[in-house]
Amino acid sequence: MSSETDKRKREHIETVLTEDVRAKGVTTGFERFLFDHVALPELALDEVDLSTTLWNRRLAAPLLISSMTGGTAAARDINRRLAEAAQTLGVAMGIGSQRAAIEDPALAPTYRVRDVAPDILLFANFGAVQLNRGFGADEARRAVAMIEADALILHLNPLQEAVQDEGDRDFRGLYRKIEAIARALPVPVIVKEVGNGIGGAVARRLADCGVAAVDVAGAGGTSWSEVEAYRSRDPVRRGIAHEFAGWGIPTALALIEARRAAPDLVLFASGGIRGGVDAAKALRLGAALVGSAAPMLGSATATADAVVARMQRLIDELRIACFCTGARDLAALRRAVLRRESDWSVIPD
């Protein structure tokens, strides 16, 4: 890997940890919804069952430690701590972009976690734009095999690439190439954004391409244009990147629109989801899994136990949200009464 690539990856980690890179002027939208509180839930809190099964992997809770890092020495310990936590708690995990290790196999150990997490639902990952830079089915298979993954994420980040000093900016023809990957791979292919959202029209086209799932990854959490703004040494480009701090589709809106446009597509929700109440709202609005990334990164620089504690809080909050809606399990939560605050109207199941 070039020194520039290593530098960029280290700067991404350091910037997320040390700077205020949250989206500005846009929220996830989940604050616009609220559940009916059930004062007599007719169940015990300990009875609430958060388990689910996806692609033949059982999860103790419908949560995903979203893709963060890899490809630099500092990332190895972070990924292993995240994976240990995922194994302990029975949740899913995505690895950061494996482009670096595909180009330089010596970096593969910074991504490998199966030895500490043999049972988790694990997602390989690289940027869809790399399909315009020579990557294809062979590289996709290598990414999956490298970490013994259960599925492959192709991530979309046009805004980040547009404002990044070193960005790849040619996103032409990618629907066709994503479809080819989805047809060629023996594992499910997931397409995700990195924090600006996938709306209904794009979700529909991706469903038609045969992808197995879409992570809407909406606005309201970490802004990668803000990350790139702090990284840039060019004051003009820095200003351009800051201009887009409020750009994107709020996560709740992206989820609603994607569900409406592609009702049979498996959807994940991520982007600014930091607590169990918002996770419950995301599940009620149609998500199969709820992802969180940046809130886990600080803990992962410490210990696996710190990640477990941070994720356990989210699980506890989700369980209480189910309890206080009278939902014994996730199927019941998806039928719980959820209202839009603007007019108190009930959101359909």
pLDDT tens, residue by residue, 117-135: 999 999 999 999 999 999 9
Greater confidence, 8 or 35? 35
Confidence of residue 87 (pLDDT cuts 50, 70, 90): very high
DSSP state letters, 80-92: HHHHHHHHHHT-E
What are the boundaries of each domain within the chain? 3-346
What's the rounded mean pLDDT across residues 270-278? 97
By the 10 Å C-beta count (0-12 exposed, 13-18 middle, 19+ buried), 113 is classed as buried
* pLDDT score at 25: 96
pLDDT, residue 74, reads 85
Q: Give exposure, 85-94, as e/b (b: 16+ Cβ within 10 Å).
A: bbbbbbbbbb
Mean pLDDT of 254-282: 98
| pLDDT given at position 73 | 85
CATH architecture of 3-346: Alpha-Beta Barrel (3.20)
Please check whether residue 107 is in contact with residue 71, taking contact to mean a CB–CB distance below 8 angstroms. Answer: yes
319-344 average pLDDT score: 97
CB 159 within 8 A of CB 247: yes
Per-residue pLDDT, averaged over 236-254, amounts to 97
Rounded Cα distance between 60 and 75, Å, is 26
Q: What is the mean pLDDT of the chain?
A: 96
pLDDT at 100: 94
As a whole number, mean pLDDT of residues 182-199 equals 98
Work out the average pLDDT over 21-35. Answer: 97
Does position 103 have pLDDT exceeding 70, yes or no? Answer: yes
195 and 223 Cβ atoms separated by less than 8 Å: yes
Element containing residue 49 per DSSP (H, E): none
Query: Is 148 within 8 Å of 119 (Cβ atoms)?
Result: no
- pLDDT at position 67 is 93
Burial track 190-204 (b if 16+ CB lie within 10 A, e otherwise): bbbbbbbbbbbebbb
Q: What is the model's pLDDT at position 9?
A: 85
Taking the chain, what is the end-to-end CA distance rounded to the nearest angstrom? 48
282 vs 291: CA distance, rounded Å: 10
Amino acid occupying residue 52: T
One-letter amino acid at 141 equals R
Percent with pLDDT over 90 in the chain = 95
* pLDDT tens digits along 226-244: 999 999 999 999 999 999 9
pLDDT score recorded for residue 8:
82
Tokens found for residue 300: 């992962």
Report in angstroms the alpha-carbon separations of 220 from 66, 124, 158, 321. 15, 25, 17, 21
Is the CB of residue 178 less than 8 Å from the CB of residue 128? yes
Under the banding of pLDDT at 50, 70 and 90, the label for residue 270 is very high
Q: How far apart are CA 318 and CA 324, in angstroms?
A: 10
Is it the case that residue 156 has pLDDT exceeding 80? yes
Say whether pLDDT at 79 is over 70: yes
Tracing tokens 């490298």 back to the chain, one arrives at: 146
User: Mind listing the pLDDT tens digit for each residue in 133-145?
Assistant: 999 999 999 999 9
Q: Which helix (H) or strand (E) holds 137?
A: helix 137-147
pLDDT at 2 > cutoff 70: no
pTM across the whole model: 0.96
56 by Cβ neighbours in 10 Å (0-12 / 13-18 / 19+) ranks as: exposed
Report residue 3's pLDDT band, with 50, 70 and 90 as the boundaries.
low
Asked if the model's pLDDT at residue 310 lies above 80, the reply is yes
